[in-house]
Amino acid sequence: MTTTAVRTPFAGLRRDQYVLKQWVDIGPRPADGSRGRAAAHYVGVLRRIAAARIRCHGLGSLTDEVMLLVSELVTNAVLHSGTRKIGLEMAVKDGFLDIAVIDGMPGVAMLKEADEDAESGRGLALVQMVVKEHGGAWGTRDAGGTTWCRLAVPEEAEE
């Protein structure tokens, strides 16, 4: 007996649709204030889920950019917010792919200059460069509880 997998072809990108709504519970912050490997694990999990979802929605040409943006925004939420839950939402609206990371904690993410030998501190600069290159923008809302960015959807994906 032979079994054949049948893959249903994607019908194409539909305008103004949610691509992803995903929440993860990263647990309480340890007493020493650090986030361990367990919390950092969710950065990779959300990055891979985001990449799969955008490919399923006909936005595969943005995979590398989305993986970088999700990594940077989720890492910031894990390291700096103190929250127990992080949400990732992606939606296509008005010709843009909107990405939002929700931690629900007040405090505004701010771009800063990193020393040339610093091992961290360049994440939001990368976010700014990528979104600018793709005709987008980034910022915060809800008193800093959400950090968002948007990328223009390539014309070939809109067909």
pLDDT tens readout for residues 105-155: 777 666 667 556 655 557 888 999 999 999 999 999 888 789 999 999 988
Question: What whole-number distance in Å separates Cα of residue 145 and Cα of residue 110?
Answer: 13
Q: Is 4 helix (H, G, I), strand (E, B) or coil?
A: coil
In the numeric block, the tokens 């929250």 are attached to 83
Q: Which residues pair with 152 in a beta bridge?
A: 96
Mean pLDDT of 33-43: 72
Tens of pLDDT along 55-89?
999 999 999 999 999 999 998 888 878 788 999 99
